[in-house]
Amino acid sequence: MNSISDFINPVRWASSLGTNGLFWAALAAVPPLIVLLYFLKLKRTPLEVPSTYLWHKSIEDLHVNSIWQRLRKNLLLLLQLLLLLLVLLALLRPSWKARQLTGDRFIFLIDNSASMQATDVGPSRLEEAKRRAAERIGDMDSGDVGMVISFADRARVEQMFTDDHGRLQRSIEGIQPTSRPTSLLEALKVASGLANPGRSSQDVTDFQVAEALPATLVIYSDGRFDKVAGFSLGNLEPVFVAIGDSEARNVGIVAFNVRRSETSADQLQAFARLENFGAEDVEVDLKLFLDDHMIDADRLAVTASATRGVVFDLGVVEPGVLRLEAATGDHLSADDKAYAVVNPPRQANVLLITAGNEFLEFALQTDSSRAMALVDVKTPEFLDGKQYAAIAAGGGLDLIIYDNCAPKEMPQANTLFVGSMPPAEGWSAEEGTPFPQIFDVEAEHPLMEWTDFGDVKLAEGTALKIPAAGSPLIDSDAGPLLGVAPRERFEDVVIGFSLAVWRVGNEQGGLKGYIGWPMSQSFPVFVRNMLGYFGGDPSQAETGGFRPGSPVVLDNPSPKTELSVRLPNGKTERPRQTASGKSSFTETGDLGVYEVRSGKETVSRFAVNLFDAAESDIRTDAAPSLDIGYVEVVAQEGWEAARQETWKWLLGLGLVVLLVEWYIYNRRVSL
């Protein structure tokens, strides 16, 4: 204790005097009131006596100084005054080390991402954060309002602004850990909604929608996330409470997937990568289970701050769920298990209608393509036959490729048109342009993955007009050359240039080289992507799966039945289905294997794994800080030495005084 201002909570003192002076004045008036009541003595016990004659005589000369004698002699009054003093002191809330808690609006941001499950502090980091937040709420003045937001990759408002501290405490209690990555930005946006209201319009004569309400932003997190860019705190006063230990140990599985062997397609291999985020070398026992039966085990030495990979040769395995468990004994258990799904191999049914296309046919006949798809090749005359009509209407095909030909109407299948236009609304072609220059490729679309168009030179191309719902995948100076557009539950891809190869002669008339897409490596990659995208790539399905919280697009093979997903915790969710038969499933917060069912039949399974080095690396900085916009928020120091509240002790002492008074009153002990 340094001074009296340390002893008596200065904040409360100051704010109370400012806002509630009347209250304190009333309190100060209580002691004189008690003394006054003693003089008035509202209740005296009546007692009948033979005669008051002698008593009158006796008290006559005592009357002169009786007031002071009563005060001096009355133990009960003294005890009552003492009790009152203790209660008043308790109301002042003296504490030994007062924290600077300013403001009357608080927003509590509580990180419940995967790394907050670490057990290096308390029961877990999240529990510690909840405990501290609850403690802070307990310190709030009555009338202060608070708001509780939990955040991982998404922010969730647990409790809107309220001055009901009990509700705040309960909403904090209700925050559950998640396995999601961390993103502070969304939580900050939610929090700033009230503190930094925007303008309702750009018109300068407009008034602001709401008055800006400054608030104190208290962030409880381990700080395991990147800088928050593009956000201005404005009226928010940030306070960062760092949770966690910079010495925390963790060894996590950061990758786990299953691939078909390079050499033989029916052999499977499982790859896992472990990373040691601690400062000590560790040995980790790994166990691999297939549907709860252990099929392999290994011991891996991982040096400090390094990664080690391991390969399990599985051979031929039945479809099922692979689970890798690492016995690490570290502070975070969420990344000690990884799941992978081995789905039954499925080949796409592809129909190629062409008058003859050497390059395309060759690309569809490679080993890897044959593993992915069964390709049937027909001539354009086939389009007029009854067999085609049945196939086109039946929907049994995954993909129909029309090479320089077009059907009369669109089939019930995904389509690829090369050098021709689909007879569907919205598609049209312009005049051909010689030597178009490709300048943009939509590389993020699955069809264009791993393709490199830098070496592609085209002799001619036709700019496409793509339906409004579609998007161009290859753009050139002439216009879009490759586009994709949805149609009911299918997609149509149109390539606006020929797959032919041109000889290029030099000035002497000799051969300089060949130009055309098939000459580029990107062509077979595109073909493979296409088979995978439309047909269901077996290797794709056998990968490590998805990250927690990421959306998963589910395809329903029979759109009439309802799709349902069984979560790892046993619950069943029914994702909303679009007309195209696809649905986006976002409830992927839990780690484990999700089972997709159509009716009662299991359609597919997918795994959700942490696989996030940022979350697995649970070491906090020695001097934790957050970068929000251009503001660095340094974690509060000395937080552990929270202030020692003494009001409870004072009240307890007051209770003891009350008991003593009661005892004296009943035993009629007198001085």
Partner 1 sequence: MPKTSNLLSPELLARLEKMELISRKIFRGRMKGERRSPRRGQSVEFADFRNYVAGDDLRFVDWNTYARLEKLFLKLFLEEEDLHFYALIDASLSMDFGEPTKLQYAGQLAAALGFIGLIRSDRVRIETLDQQDRGHAPVFRGRQNLWRMLEHVEQIEPGQTVTLTEGIKNFCMRNSGKGIVVLISDLMDKGGYEDALKYLSAQQMDVYVVHVLSAEELDPDIQGDLRLVDCEDGDVAEISVSPALVRRYKQTLAAFVDSARDFCTRRGMVYLLARNEVPIDELVTGFLRTRGLVR
> Judged by CB, which is closer to partner 1: 41, or 386?
41
Cβ–Cβ < 8 Å for 481, 495: yes
Minimum separation from the CB atom of position 669 to partner 1 (A): 9
Side-chain-side CA neighbours of residue 506 (13 Å): 5
d(Cα 619, Cα 639) in Å, to the nearest integer?
19
Scanning residues 364 to 403, which ones bind partner 1 (CB under 8 A)? none
- Report the residue number, 66 or 261, with the smaller CB distance to partner 1: 66
- Cα separation, 251 vs 431, in Å, equals 60
Q: Which of 45/142 has CB closer to partner 1?
A: 45
Decide whether 56 or 600 has the Cβ nearer to partner 1: 56
- Among the listed residues 5, 19, 69, 261, the single contact to partner 1 using CB under 8 A: 69
- In degrees to the nearest 10, what's the CA dihedral of 440, 444, 450, 452? 0
Number of residues that bind partner 1 (CB under 8 A): 28
Asked whether 603 and 597 are in contact (CB, 8 A), the reply is yes
Q: Which is nearer to partner 1, 46 or 510 (CB)?
A: 46
Nearer to partner 1, 176 or 666 (CB): 666
Q: How far is the CB of 78 from partner 1 (least distance, A)?
A: 14
Q: Spell out, one character per residue from 650 to 669, where the chain touches partner 1: x when CB under 8 A holds, - when not.
A: ------------------x-
Distances in Å between the alpha carbon of 486 and those of 8, 30, 413, 650, 668?
70, 80, 11, 73, 95
Which of 1, 5, 26, 70 contacts partner 1 by CB under 8 A? 70
The single-letter code of the amino acid at 493 is V
| Residue with Cβ nearer partner 1 (44 or 386) | 44
Q: Which residues of 616-626 are buried (b: 16+ CB within 10 A; e: fewer)?
A: bbbbbeeebeb
- Least gap, CB of 52 to partner 1 (angstroms): 4
Please work out, in degrees rounded to the nearest 5, the angle formed at the alpha carbon of residue 624 by the alpha carbons of 618 and 626: 100
Nearer to partner 1, 56 or 560 (CB): 56
Rounded Cα–Cα distance for residues 433 and 412 (Å): 32
Smallest separation, CB 42 to partner 1 (Å):
10
User: Given the complex with partner 1, which of 55 and 663 has the nearer CB atom?
Assistant: 55
Minimum CB separation of residue 90 from partner 1 in Å reads 29
Q: What's CA 443's distance to the chain center, in Å?
A: 26
CB of residue 661 to partner 1, shortest distance in Å: 14
Query: Least distance from C-beta 34 to partner 1, angstroms?
Result: 15
Shortest distance in whole angstroms from residue 66 CB to partner 1: 8
Residues numbered 490 to 509 that lie near partner 1 (CB under 8 A) are none
> How many CB atoms lie under 10 A from the CB of residue 68?
9
Q: Is 32 exposed, middle or buried (0-12, 13-18, 19+ CB in 10 A)?
A: exposed
Q: Which residue has the tokens 């008058």?
A: 355
Greatest pairwise CA separation for the chain in angstroms? 152
Mapped onto helix, strand or coil, the DSSP state of residue 356 is coil
CB 466 within 8 A of CB 485: yes
Judged by beta carbon, residue 49 or residue 316, the one nearer partner 1 is 49
Q: Binding pattern to partner 1, positions 27-66, x when CB under 8 A?
A: --------------x-xxxxxxxxxxxxxxxxx-xx---x
User: Nearest distance from residue 54's CB to partner 1, in Å?
Assistant: 5
Q: Is 74 one of the binding residues for partner 1 (CB under 8 A)?
A: yes
Q: Which helix (H) or strand (E) holds 402?
A: strand 399-403
Stretch that binds partner 1, among 67-75, 426-434, 570-578, 582-590 (CB under 8 A): 67-75
CA torsion sign for 646, 652, 658, 664 is: negative
Question: Closest separation between CB of residue 51 and partner 1, Å?
Answer: 4
| Footprint of partner 1 (CB under 8 A) | 41, 43-59, 61-62, 66, 69-70, 73-74, 668, 670-671
